[in-house]
Structure formats: C-alpha cells, structure tokens
Amino acid sequence: MKYVKESAILFGITLVGELMNLLLPLPVPAGVYGLLLLLVLLCSGILKLDQVEATGNFLLEIMPILFIPAAVGLMESVDAMRAILVPMLVVCTVSTIIVMVATGKVTELILAFGEKEVREYDEHHEKNNKNNSSNRSTGSKKNKGGR
C-alpha cells in the first residue's frame, strides 16, 4: 500500500507538471515543471522525503529498462539516420566532452568553496578557543591570587 500511495503522489506531481506545461507559454518540458514542483515541495517541507523515497529509489533502479523502447526506436530508424550519422556522432561526442568538463569544473569550484568555508570555520573556532582558554587561565590566576 505504501508504494501505491507514493506512486500516486509522484504521478500527481507529474500531472500538475503536465498541466503547467499546457497553461504556461514557456518552452519548458512538462517533466521539468514536475521536477521543479517536487523540489519546491521537498525543500519547503510540504512533502517529506520518506513520503516518496521508496518509490523514487525503485524508479531509479529500473531506469535503464525504461530506455529500451527508445533504443529500439533508434535501431529501427538507423537507415534514415545513415546520412547524418557522422555529424551526429561528432556532435554527441563534443557535447558529452563539454558537459563532462563543465561538470568537473563546477564540482571543483563547489569543493573549493566548501573547503574555504570549513577553513574559515575552523580558524574562527580556534581563535575563540584560544580566547576562552586564555580567559580561563587569566581568571583562574586571579581567583588564586584573590584567595
């Protein structure tokens, strides 16, 4: 019953994405609207992750199976694509390399930014710890002298 409820939630979000695609005059695919809606619902706390996690994980696990019909369709139309096969392979190869390089650079930037924040956090807390320990030692000396 849990999977039925989770599937109903995910398909409902997908349906709203389809409706948004029909109503909004933007060149955005319905799936993107659905994903953005899901992100907003999860980030706002309206939808909890455990309400859709099991079905989402299942769909991710079977995703390769979902590409079989598209692959069969490509194999059936290989004769029609024979004339553009070389340019298509070049475009696919170049775009894949560009995406890989861009993803790597963005990941490096994010990691560098995260490391910088961690360093600043550590330096700030080290400074506070030194100040607290010097205050304690000064305070304890004053207390010993005052007795």
9, 51 Cβ separation under 8 angstroms: yes
How far is residue 127 from each of residues 83, 94, 117, 138, 140, measured CA to CA in Å? 68, 49, 15, 16, 20
Residue 9 tokens read as 């939630």
Percent of the chain at pLDDT exceeding 90: 59
**pLDDT at residue 7 above 70?**
yes
Residue 57: phi, psi to the nearest 5? -65, -40
- Residue 123's identity, in one-letter code, is E
Identify the pLDDT of residue 123: 81
Burial of 128 (0-12, 13-18, 19+ CB in 10 A): exposed
pLDDT confidence band for 38 (50 / 70 / 90):
very high
Percent of the chain at pLDDT exceeding 70: 90
How far is residue 54 from each of residues 12, 23, 45, 48, 57, measured CA to CA in Å? 16, 31, 18, 12, 5
Average pLDDT over residues 18-45: 95
- Comparing 69 with 131, which gets the higher pLDDT? 69
Which residue's structure tokens are 């390089």? Answer: 101
pLDDT confidence band for 147 (50 / 70 / 90):
very low
Identify the pLDDT of residue 29: 94
111: enclosing H helix or E strand: helix 85-146
Q: Please, what sign has the CA dihedral across residues 31, 10, 43, 111? A: negative
pLDDT (tens digit, 9 = 90+) per residue, 75-105?
Answer: 888 888 888 889 989 999 999 999 999 999 9
